[in-house]
Amino acid sequence: MKKFVVVLLALVMAMSLCMAASARDDVQEVIEQAQTMTLEELAKKAIEESNGKMFYGVGNSSRGKSALPLFIDYLKTIDPNYSMEFEWQQPKNNKIFDQLTADSLKDTGTFTMVLIQDGNQIESKMVQTGILDTFIPKEWAEANGYAEGEYEGYLPLQTLNKIFEFNNTGSKTYDNVWDFVAEGEHGLFMDIDSEVVGKNFLYMLTADKYADALKEAFDALSDEEKAYFEPVIEEVEEDAWDLDLGENGAYALAWIKLWVESYNAQTDDGPICNTLVDKSATDQFGLLVYSKLRSVEESDSVSKNNVTVAAYQDGYKGFGGYGYCHYLFVTDNSPMPWTACAFIAYMTETVDGFSAWGKDLGGYSSNPQLAAANEEKFHHMTGGNDENGNVVFPAMNDRGYDWWVNEGGLVLEDPEYCDEVSFTVGSWIEMLDKYSGE
């Protein structure tokens, strides 16, 4: 009898595993088919699959909750009788990875799709483990010049930038990226343990492209300024060698060391912005999400004209901030994979679908055609001008993704590179962070 029970349990477990594997195979088969279909074709599939059902989404951005009603309205243009209820969750304190890992243990998951940031943890915890699957919409790929199946990588909804801004009510200026780590400086910055994309930014500085940019900015400094930084660069030269960094790796490590040991840790970018725009914040600066300026209300003491975007200054040297992506995925055990694919295509291929994010400066669609249409609708590049074209708030005139990457030196997150150096460079940074207060 005991043997029978053991065999029966083994059969049940085997059947459960087969059913789970089959469900996941079905999701991947849907994605494979969906990548050959237009948005309208996907929408019809989504209507068949999800009409009258509940959609659960999860993301680092709360604005998925704003995009879903627009998606439902779009589906109603195809079938007026269509309906779908939804809930959108935004886990705090980096818990989204634990939540998705737990949900992945079910045969059929709760979450239909995911909007997520932090390329390093996505790579190591979500993609390599098979918890999330990448879907590349056909028309998105075509807009970016890719043939079917040619694009490799995750699907970014958008790139966001965090940029250096300083209060300009005093006499101090910051015209070189090394100025932010000079003696006595304490920039306002979200703590790297509170928002891990900030740590990815530091990882990326050790890549040859950005280490070389730091060396070039260093060369533009005066002899007096160089004299302050040179001992630190010499101190970390051996570490750069041990970490197998490139020719200018020591410049990256020196900047990172000085930054980690000096920044004034904050819990959110909103308070950083509110501090900097007040005239009482003379000679302070921060590294923060560009879009936070949109919510500043003018008063006697507060103005968007009290801040300068460092990289917009003539002759500025070095990188002006860093960029990271919100990525879109289908969960590998999605309960409604066709609906997930349709919603993802809607957000990455239409102005209305992207509008929950597109109304803000500092957020750039990964679809160049959509980015152009979005700019035409929202006019971010003249966002600081009045109706007569007069400049009112220079800091609000977003110069756009291409400018930030090519002229502003934006440091772009590369998930694979971050994953590659997260143990080596990451451990080195952790030691700085651990002992910086002692």
Residue 438 is predicted with a pLDDT of 44
Give me Rg for the CA atoms of the chain: 24
Mean per-residue pLDDT for 159-174?
96
Of the chain, the percentage scoring pLDDT greater than 70 comes to 93
Residue 138 is predicted with a pLDDT of 97
Domain boundaries defined on the chain: 25-157+325-372, 159-323+398-435
**Backbone dihedral region for residue 39 (phi beyond 0: left; psi -120 to 50: alpha; all else: beta):** alpha
25-157+325-372: CATH number: 3.40.190.10
pLDDT digits (tens, 9 = 90+) for 362-409: 999 999 999 999 999 999 989 999 888 899 999 999 999 999 999 999
Residue 374 is predicted with a pLDDT of 94
Its pTM stands at 0.90
The domain 159-323+398-435 is placed in CATH, from the list 1.10.760.10, 3.40.190.10, 1.20.1560.10, 2.60.40.10, at 3.40.190.10
pLDDT over 80 (residue 433): no
Neighbours of 372 (CB within 10 A): 12
Domains 25-157+325-372 and 159-323+398-435 share a fold: yes
pLDDT digits (tens, 9 = 90+) for 54-81: 999 999 989 999 999 999 999 999 999 9
Residue 408 is predicted with a pLDDT of 97
pLDDT over 50 (residue 5): no
Residue 388 is predicted with a pLDDT of 87
Confidence of residue 258 (pLDDT cuts 50, 70, 90): very high
Residue that has been written with the tokens 């879907």 in this structure: 135
pLDDT over 70 (residue 437): no
pLDDT digits (tens, 9 = 90+) for 10-27: 554 544 444 444 556 799
Residue 94 is predicted with a pLDDT of 79
Q: Which residue in 47, 190, 268 sits closest to 55, CA to CA?
A: 47
Distance (Å, whole) CA 270 – CA 274 = 6
Confidence of residue 195 (pLDDT cuts 50, 70, 90): confident
pLDDT digits (tens, 9 = 90+) for 91-129: 987 799 999 999 999 999 999 999 999 999 999 999 999
Mean per-residue pLDDT for 406-420?
96
pLDDT over 50 (residue 332): yes
pLDDT over 90 (residue 9): no
